[in-house]
Amino acid sequence: MAHSVNLAADFKPYVDEMFATESKIKLLTNSDFSWTGAHTIFVYKINTAPMQDYNRAGDFEGYSRYGKIQGLNATTQEMTLGKDRSFTFETDLLDTDETKGQLDAASALARQVREVVIPEIDKYVYGVMCEKAGHKPEAIELTPDNIYTEIIKGSAALDNAEVPDTKRILLVTPNTFLMMKQCPDITMTDELDADLKLLGVVTNLDGCAVIKVPASRLPENFGFLIAHPMATVAPVKLEDYVTHNRPPGINGSLVEGRLCYDAFVLDNKAKAIYYQAVTA
């Protein structure tokens, strides 16, 4: 009779977690407006009056010495929150025990936020910024030889639009960042403020703090984006997570989450965003 041995199996209290990148959208957006108590807010847009020659001689007809009197228009931009999202899952009490606590509701919720919630919000916000960018040149092929030229073209466009030259952010994919490192005209620096490093800034270039984001969170054919945070409002009005311990019908925990969020590019500040797409 052949010798047979059933080898023991053991599962260690360790979960093979998926990699997940922390969100960096706070560097590119602002929270200047509050949706507290409202689902829609309106922002006024007021025009200005042109300069005219002062009529010192007084030979005018129907106008003041200051010239033709201009009326000012007060229009509004409507911003209504459009993303009301949710999730739910349950963890069985026996499953939690027999996986050595790895199906614990708290750790499962943290994983859900890290691997599902944050990537969804990031992708949506970046998509809105690219769609509403005030500068969108034709898609081109980016290479190590032209990447620096194209980036400084973007900086020049923001300069000509009189966008503040401080706090600008250059958003790139890992592939674009690789081209930057291969470009002979770009010198990378790691002399950064410790707080900026914690926020995800990897270097500085042409007055912009450079951040790197996985391509999966960006629109297809994304090349790079230069933005000032004044242009985009990215509110998360509701972020509610609840864990119910042993609710009726479940011997374990029921986890529920709801988020209400959106992103808006202000009409008069769209020129503070430059988006360069690449050819497929």
**Following CA atoms 89, 85, 275, 199 in sequence, which dihedral angle do they give, to the nearest 10 degrees?**
-60
> Residue 14: which pLDDT band, with cuts at 50, 70 and 90?
very low
Per-residue pLDDT at 8: 44
In eight-state DSSP terms, residue 229 is: G
Long-range contacts formed by 9-13: CB under 8 A, 24+ apart: 11/99, 11/100, 12/100, 13/100, 13/101, 13/102
Tell me how far apart the alpha carbons of residues 201 and 212 are, in angstroms, rounded to a whole number: 8
Which tokens hold the place of 158?
A: 């923001």
- Spatial neighbors of 139 by CB under 8 A, at least 6 apart, are 221, 223, 276, 277, 278, 279
Buried b (16+ CB within 10 A) or exposed e, 185-198: ebeeeeebeeeeee
Yes or no: say if 196 and 254 are a contact pair by the CB < 8 Å rule.
Answer: no
Per-residue pLDDT at 102: 65
Q: What pLDDT, in 10s, does the model give residues 218-267?
A: 999 999 999 999 999 999 988 999 999 999 998 989 999 999 999 999 99
Q: Is the pLDDT of residue 19 over 80?
A: no
Q: What pLDDT, in 10s, does the model give residues 106-155?
A: 888 888 999 999 999 999 999 999 999 999 999 999 999 999 999 999 99
Tell me how far apart the alpha carbons of residues 254 and 96 are, in angstroms, rounded to a whole number: 13
Per-residue pLDDT at 280: 81
In eight-state DSSP terms, residue 271 is: G
**Following CA atoms 172, 174, 176, 180 in sequence, which dihedral angle do they give, to the nearest 10 degrees?**
100
Mean pLDDT (whole number) for 44-50? 87
Return the percentage of the chain with pLDDT > 70, whole number: 90
In eight-state DSSP terms, residue 59 is: -
Of residues 174 and 194, the one with the higher pLDDT is: 174
Strand, coil or helix: what is 222? strand
Tell me how far apart the alpha carbons of residues 203 and 189 are, in angstroms, rounded to a whole number: 6
- Residue where the block lists tokens 């950064």: 192
> Residue 52: which pLDDT band, with cuts at 50, 70 and 90?
confident
